[in-house]
Amino acid sequence: MNWENQSVLTDLVFLAYPSCPELSVLSFFGVSLVYALIITGNVLIVLSVQTEARLHTPMYYFLGSLSGIEICYTAAVVPHILANTLRSEKGITLLGCATQMVFFIGLGSADCLLLAAMAYDRYVAICHPLQYPLIMTLTLCARLVVASGILGFLLSLQLVAFIFSLPFCHARGIQHFFCDVPPVMQLVCASGPAHEQSVLVAATLAIAVPFFLITVSYAFIAAAVLRVQSAAGRCRAFSTCSSHLTVVLLQYGGCAFMYLRPSPSYRAGRDQFISLLYTLGTPLLNPLIYTLRNSEMKGAIGKVLARSCFSHNRGGHHLAGCSLVTGNAHPHAASSSLS
């Protein structure tokens, strides 16, 4: 890409931020709180999966990897959003915008692809339980995680390179909080059906194809579960997939609405709200969804918190809180199903 030839456009300005100082401060603290909860919840899951030997299984390996991606995914845009909320100049260079978009789209695509790998894990566990230890080895899991990241960034690099090779108009304002595909495409001059189709192809590869694979996996899972004679067995099998299905609907619902549609349907206010939902809402809800009904994960997180509390207070007299945390998350009270 020849950045010098992008017309006279050298900087972009975000127009979605509130102009009122009081609203800016309120927005800053609100986003900061949500971001802190996102980092805390996902870091606890990563630490629990790494430190607890009983969680060293493919299912939890994927869950820890998903949380690691969520941490990086939000870090690609949220710190910049917080900085822009308080400063008067809310601009970004073309190169900075492209870089932000590469990481945001790349990590988001990796997230979608990893959810497809997790669906395959559930398919093997339910439809081929005897072969599960032989098929879903940790080596295969690591390869699927790495492949998700590589494919996600390859799609992102091609998409961003294509977008920023197009001629930009003289308008500098982005009706958004960060550099995302739909609002940036609004600045492209002479955008035609061919340009929109190119963006749609990339979005289809990153969103529609993984979702199709997830749908096929759960179709086989549903068929296998319906053949189970015991009602308790069917309920237990479905419960192992409920958390994953909830996350899939949250992630793919927002992404499909934003990217799998023609560019003229873009509406600034509505799309800004939806983008915040899948940028902040989904990474915030994922740790809750995967832990609230998962006794093993709650027990592991309780042990991580207890160790952290103990290490901070071992020189003082505040160990009661540690014993409470450990007591509330005793691992032997856990069941092994992920629901």
- Average confidence score pLDDT of the chain: 82
pLDDT tens string 57-111:
998 999 999 999 999 999 999 999 999 998 888 889 889 999 999 999 999 999 9
pLDDT at 238: 72
Instruction: Give every CB contact of residue 117 below 8 A, 6+ residues apart in sequence.
Output: 62, 141, 144, 145, 148
pLDDT tens string 302-332:
888 888 777 666 655 554 445 444 444 433 3
User: What is the C-alpha to C-alpha distance for residues 211 and 143, in angstroms, rounded to an integer?
Assistant: 20
pLDDT of 29 higher than 90: yes
User: What is the C-alpha to C-alpha distance for residues 138 and 338, in angstroms, rounded to an integer?
Assistant: 18
Q: Name the residue ranges covered by the structural domains of the chain.
A: 10-312
Average pLDDT over residues 219-225: 88
Pairing assessment for the beta strands 173-174 and 11-14 based on DSSP bridges: parallel
Select the CATH number that applies to the domain covering 10-312 from these four: 2.60.40.10, 1.10.167.10, 1.20.1070.10, 3.40.50.10140: 1.20.1070.10
Does residue 31 or residue 182 have the better pLDDT?
31
pLDDT at 324: 42
C-alpha torsion 265→266→269→274, nearest 10:
100
pLDDT at 135: 93
pLDDT tens string 233-262:
677 767 777 778 888 888 888 788 888 776
User: What is the C-alpha to C-alpha distance for residues 304 and 43, in angstroms, rounded to an integer?
Assistant: 11
Which of 127-131, 143-147, 169-173, 334-338 is the most confident on average? 143-147
pLDDT at 191: 60
The answer to whether the beta carbons of residues 255 and 207 sit under 8 Å apart is yes
pLDDT at 21: 84
